[in-house]
């Protein structure tokens, strides 16, 4: 992955190209060929000189102030997550980097083993799956491996059929990886996953280049399971209190789903002892 100055520059360029003159309240001239805003237009909106903004985008200005970054965030119409990511590229919050671990706490493991009959997994910042319960294994049984959600979505052929809105899910996966870098910019677990998948998926590389920061936390989802059929589940992403680099993903059946017994059918596919 690139250094922070280069990442800042590519982030600004990608987000500048995503804002149209109309979005910014500007009147585009005739014969306009530039995608999004021109550098001088964004500089004007942010109250910066064009030369200074150009240096930022080219990675030649390394320490813009918080005031400058917030002005750019307003001009680029960034949401809360994207603004936090932009600021973290230059002024990272001094959080202690969590120790790399491939295990979860005994309490979380007990919850997955005996307290949840719905699909549940725990992932780290790189979307590596640290643990998965029996219903979760059944839900993802059509995949070759269940070791990393990003690899599953982009590199496993089963994903295109399993996810009914694959592109939406793919965008969310990229947003989740970017979001992890907001809190821990130098976490090499994210870098390893990004470098690996970028080398094998041009779609992933293209989405990563957009610098979209959109973590998924709660929404209804529709899956197509090869044995159970359609699954309509509500997704929740929960923070693990004693492990800031881990999240618990839980999938609960929707009340008005066409197949209310889908989770029970999932459980029947895998023995309870399969949970680890």
Q: What's the predicted TM-score (pTM) here? A: 0.80
Do 213 and 242 lie in one domain? The reply is: yes
- Which among 203, 216, 132, 145 has a CA at the least distance from the CA of 177? 216
Do 168 and 218 lie in one domain? The reply is: yes
Do 166 and 214 lie in one domain? The reply is: yes
Is residue 227 included in any domain, yes or no? Answer: yes
Residue 214 pLDDT: 79
pLDDT in tens, 202-254: 999 999 999 988 777 889 999 999 988 889 899 999 989 888 889 999 998 88
Q: Is the pLDDT of residue 275 over 60?
A: no
**Highest mean pLDDT range out of 136-145, 213-222, 257-266?**
136-145
Phi, psi of 124 (to 5 degrees): -100, -170
Cβ-in-10-Å burial (0-12, 13-18, 19+) of 186 comes to: exposed
Residue 258 pLDDT: 59
**Highest mean pLDDT range out of 58-67, 154-163, 185-194, 256-265?**
154-163
Residues 129 and 145: beta-carbon distance below 8 Å: no
Give the C-alpha separation, 27 to 155, whole Å.
43
Residue 276 pLDDT: 40
Residue 183 pLDDT: 77
Do 113 and 53 lie in one domain? The reply is: no
Q: Which domain holds residue 6?
A: 1-89
Do 193 and 111 lie in one domain? The reply is: yes
Do 48 and 127 lie in one domain? The reply is: no
Residue 261 pLDDT: 66
Percent of the chain at pLDDT exceeding 90: 57
Do 132 and 64 lie in one domain? The reply is: no
Give the C-alpha separation, 86 to 260, whole Å.
42
Tell me whether strands 247-253 and 218-225 are parallel, antiparallel or unpaired. unpaired
Q: Is the pLDDT of residue 122 over 80?
A: yes
Q: Across-strand partners of 220? A: 234
pLDDT in tens, 96-111: 666 667 789 999 999 9
Residue 74 pLDDT: 94
Residue 149 is part of a domain; what is its CATH number? Answer: 3.30.450.180
Do 152 and 186 lie in one domain? The reply is: yes
Region 54-61: mean pLDDT is: 91
Q: How many domains, in total, are found in the chain?
A: 2
Do 142 and 256 lie in one domain? The reply is: yes
Residue 24 is part of a domain; what is its CATH number? Answer: 1.10.260.40
Residues 209 and 14: beta-carbon distance below 8 Å: yes
Residue 30 pLDDT: 63
Do 164 and 204 lie in one domain? The reply is: yes
């Amino acid at each position: 992955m690139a250094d922070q100055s280069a990442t800042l520059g590519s982030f600004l360029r990608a987000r500048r190209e995503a804002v149209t003159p109309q979005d910014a309240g500007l009147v585009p001239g005739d014969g306009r060929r530039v995608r999004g805003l021109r550098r001088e237009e964004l500089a004007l909106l942010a109250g910066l000189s064009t030369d200074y903004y150009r240096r930022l985008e080219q990675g030649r200005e390394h320490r813009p102030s918080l005031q400058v970054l917030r002005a750019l965030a307003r001009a680029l119409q960034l949401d809360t997550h994207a603004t936090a990511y932009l600021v973290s590229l230059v002024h990272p919050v001094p959080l202690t980097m969590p120790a790399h671990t491939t295990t979860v706490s005994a309490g979380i493991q007990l919850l997955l083993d005996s307290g949840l009959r719905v699909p549940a997994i725990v992932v780290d910042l790189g979307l590596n799956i640290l643990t998965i319960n029996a219903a979760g294994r059944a839900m993802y049984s059509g995949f070759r491996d269940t070791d990393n959600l990003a690899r599953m979505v982009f590199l496993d052929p089963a994903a295109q059929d399993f996810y009914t809105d694959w592109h939406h899910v793919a965008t969310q996966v990229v947003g989740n990886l970017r979001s992890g870098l907001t809190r821990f910019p130098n976490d090499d677990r994210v870098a390893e996953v990004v470098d690996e998948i970028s080398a094998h998926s041009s779609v992933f590389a293209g989405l990563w280049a957009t610098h979209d920061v959109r973590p998924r936390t709660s929404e209804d989802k529709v899956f197509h399971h090869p044995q159970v059929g359609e699954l309509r589940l509500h997704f929740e992403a929960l923070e693990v209190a004693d492990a800031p680099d881990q999240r618990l993903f839980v999938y609960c059946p929707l009340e008005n789903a066409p197949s209310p017994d889908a989770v029970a059918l999932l459980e029947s596919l895998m023995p309870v002892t399969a949970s680890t």
